[in-house]
Amino acid sequence: MSSIDASAIKTAPFDARFPNQNQTKSCWQNYVDFHKCIALKGESYKPCGQFFKTYMSLCPLEWVEKWDEQREAGTFANRELQSAQYNH
């Protein structure tokens, strides 16, 4: 997945873009933003880690695993990530 330390994951702070209790959109957006970030900057770019920590604290693991499988198969719902070439 990533070289970011998963033990440092904490509940994500409030994000004004997603003020309601349902955090599904925030989960999705942070997952997409993380993968866009590492595709552009590489896995060693530390600021990408904030997206990782946020989506790992908000998203059910089953969703993340499914999205990872979809990205690898080229069937992920975000077209930009389907074509992103990077090592994960």
Whether residue 9 is contained in a domain is answered as no
**What CATH number does residue 32 fall under?**
1.10.10.140
Whether residue 39 is contained in a domain is answered as yes
Q: How confident is the model at residue 87 (pLDDT cuts 50, 70, 90)?
A: very low
Report residue 75 as tokens. Answer: 């069937």
Whether residue 3 is contained in a domain is answered as no
In the chain, the number of structural domains is 1
Report residue 30 as tokens. Answer: 């942070």
Q: 36: helix, coil or strand?
A: helix
Whether residue 75 is contained in a domain is answered as yes
The whole-model pTM stands at: 0.71
- Cα within 13 Å of Cα(43), Cβ side: 9
Whether residue 13 is contained in a domain is answered as no
Q: What is the pLDDT of residue 10?
A: 72
Residues 27 and 52 sit within 8 Å (Cβ to Cβ): no
Q: Which domain holds residue 56?
A: 23-83
pLDDT > 80? residue 80 = no
pLDDT tens string 46-78: 999 999 999 999 999 999 999 999 988 888 888
